[in-house]
Structure 1
């Protein structure tokens, strides 16, 4: 006969959402400051104020943690997925331009994007996770909206939607990461308006007052 107290079995202590948030925030901070290779689990734990084992209980590898942290940041960007009809698309894009301008002008976001562009050769799994869990779902939603735009006459029926999406993405990357200077939210909003107009997503109207004041010319000038 034994007097040993039976071991309590159960799911264990629930995860602390505050610890999760602190870890993800610390991960993004270090990724922006140091890059992927110089960001370590030990450094993340120290910045988050938790034990290293706390991080490993939640994420098996550094790439898993980085992928989730990146996903969290990218989810802060507004989406056009809430459009109810294609006919509303130009007005919806115009309404979202200030939000996109604010988000894309954030130096932290731009630095993070620059870090990710160089991740492919040395961290293909991280780049693949980012593509599969963030880029591809957003691209599929955008593709569906563009297809409806074609069906309802907003876009040319012969437009290659995949190439159009590639061109718009490349233009944004070029404007944000390759051109020198620090664009303001208004600068980026004006550029996106011109980009959407060139893509055929807005009517070929006269320049907006902000474009006229900036001295920029629209695509139909």
Structure 2
């Protein structure tokens, strides 16, 4: 079946944000429902209601497209800007992002999305590679910088291995999310708060008792 003809865009013509959003939504839905095998470029175009050329003009491979679609699933978690990062304490930043992070962990379909992403490591490693390079690693660098600042300020022990600390926190969240009983938003927020408290990044309320 041939792709539908499309007129070439003139130089400088802006991309359609509506098409971008439809493509990302379709890619995310198909990937969550059936993994990378179900999220072919043709299937994504069909669900998004666009031609395949529209998809290929924006993403050259489905791995890059799926990686960005996965990233779109966390768009409701705010990323503090550099000025906020510099001016805000780490505990205050954690408190700021906790509600949005908890809502994401409790959102229907997030567990399936996480499972599909982890599963693609073996079957479609370029998806995880693209997601790691473009989305996880940049945020990891920000987290490391914030933790270094906390350690320098004496909020963490001087000998804290920050790489291990980050891995422990992320691993705890992934392990809990994939357990058979899903979290609701309130439970997710309590769990995240407990993780950060055990890591020494939030103050334990019981210590004031």
Aligned to 1:132: 133
Give per-residue Cα distances to partners, 1:136-193, cap 9 Å, x unaligned: 011110000000001111111111000000000100000101x211211110100111
Residue number in structure 2 paired with 1:65: 65
- RMSD between aligned residues: 2.3
8 A contact 1:119–1:127 mirrored in 2: yes
Q: Is residue 102–residue 185 contact of structure 1 (8 Å, CA) maintained in 2?
A: yes
Name the CA shift for 1:197/1:34 in 2 (closer, same or farther; >3 Å).
Answer: same
Unaligned 5+ segments in structure 2 are 1-8
Pick the structure with more helix per residue.
2
Distance 1:156 1:148 in 2: 12
Helix, strand or coil for the counterpart of 1:24?
Answer: helix
Q: For the Cα contact (< 8 Å) 2:27–2:69, is it kept in 1?
A: yes
The 8 Å contact of residues 80 and 93 in structure 1, kept in 2 or not, is answered as: no
Counterpart mapping for 1:136-175 below 5 A: 136-175=137-176
Q: Closer, same or farther in 2 for the Cα pair 1:54/1:148, shift >3 Å? A: same
DSSP 3-state at the match of 2:109: helix
Q: How many residues are paired up?
A: 199
Specify the SS of the correspondent of 1:146: helix
Normalising by structure 2, report the TM-score: 0.86
Name the larger-Rg structure. Answer: 1
d(CA) in 1 for partners of 2:14 and 2:86? 39
**Alpha-carbon distance in structure 2 between the residues aligned to 1:97 and 1:59:** 32
